[in-house]
Amino acid sequence: MDFVEFAQGHGLIVNQIVTNRWVATPTQDHPRSSNGRYKFLGDVGWVQNWALMEKPATWFAEGKNAQSLEVRQSILGSTQDRDEKAKKAKAKAEWILQQTSLESHPYLDKKGFADQQGNVWQREGQRILVIPMRHGRELTGCQLIDEQGSKKFLHGQVSKGATFTIGAKGTAIFVEGFATGLSVRTIMQHMNIPCHIHICFSASNVEFVSRNHRNGVIVADNDPHGVGKAAAEKASKPYWISETVGEDFNDYHKRVGDFRASQSLKKTLLSLKTLPQSA
């Protein structure tokens, strides 16, 4: 099986092969988005369909395996290239944030937060919402959200383990998206319970980040393929998830309002061994 066939077998739509970097692609179930990605090094490659897979699947050329000299040399060269790209992405993120100003944004308005301000970057006639992504205190990249709600990350940035955190104390809560984080903050304030919310940007990163914290709860997205639920279950923490497929906590919050959302989330919080205390 060649690499293109391998990628297609995992649902990716690949029209041409670009080497030595992660390439975003449409998928068979999301043909109008970039819900897949691949990296091809010649003797080894990786593919991932975000809707179906929590981590990439590895392909080897015929007769090759992880111990083959050619494969190890390819991976070493790719690692060095990755590190250089990560440095450039970090520098670009720092530069972008210097160009931003605190403003409202159409995406936030759509998500129910018309009065919320964020880092907005004016770029080629578009107002881009910029969400910084950090490992600890170190900026490593950012998520860019345009006025239509399309999202992307900087090429080469280190996203695994990166978060944007709201709040500094109280119950740890792990979520995928920025809008979900804002809804969780609203509801926790409504219940007068202090918290710090870790926005992780993907289901797999929710699992990874939450494993580094002893306590806390996960607020998962109920995506159609069950990736969010599967990641929450693997993290072995109490988790909230909507009963409606395709709905995240922000969708649920907008649909049912503050009171019902607070009562629903409170049931998950009560699963903690140490119950959160109101401020």
Q: What is the full DSSP assignment across 146-177?
A: -TT--EEE-TT---TT-BEEE-SSSEEEEESS
CA–CA dist 27, 23 (Å, integer):
12
Give me the pLDDT at residue 220, please.
Answer: 97
pLDDT digits (tens, 9 = 90+) for 88-99: 999 999 999 999
Asked whether the predicted pLDDT for residue 66 surpasses 80, the reply is: yes
* Structure tokens given for 69: 């000299």
Closest CA to 187 of 264, 110, 255, 244: 264
Question: What Å distances lie between residue 62 and 20, 43, 104, 195, CA to CA?
Answer: 19, 8, 53, 51
Give me the pLDDT at residue 278, please.
Answer: 56
CA–CA dist 262, 176 (Å, integer):
19
Domains of the chain: 3-67 (no CATH), 101-269 (3.40.50)
pLDDT digits (tens, 9 = 90+) for 159-179: 999 999 999 899 999 999 999
Asked whether the predicted pLDDT for residue 277 surpasses 80, the reply is: no
**Number of residues assigned to the chain:** 279
Closest CA to 185 of 91, 108, 250: 250
* Residues whose CB falls within 8 Å of the CB of residue 95, separated by 6 or more in sequence, listed in order: none
pLDDT digits (tens, 9 = 90+) for 201-245: 999 899 999 998 988 999 999 998 888 999 999 999 999 999 999
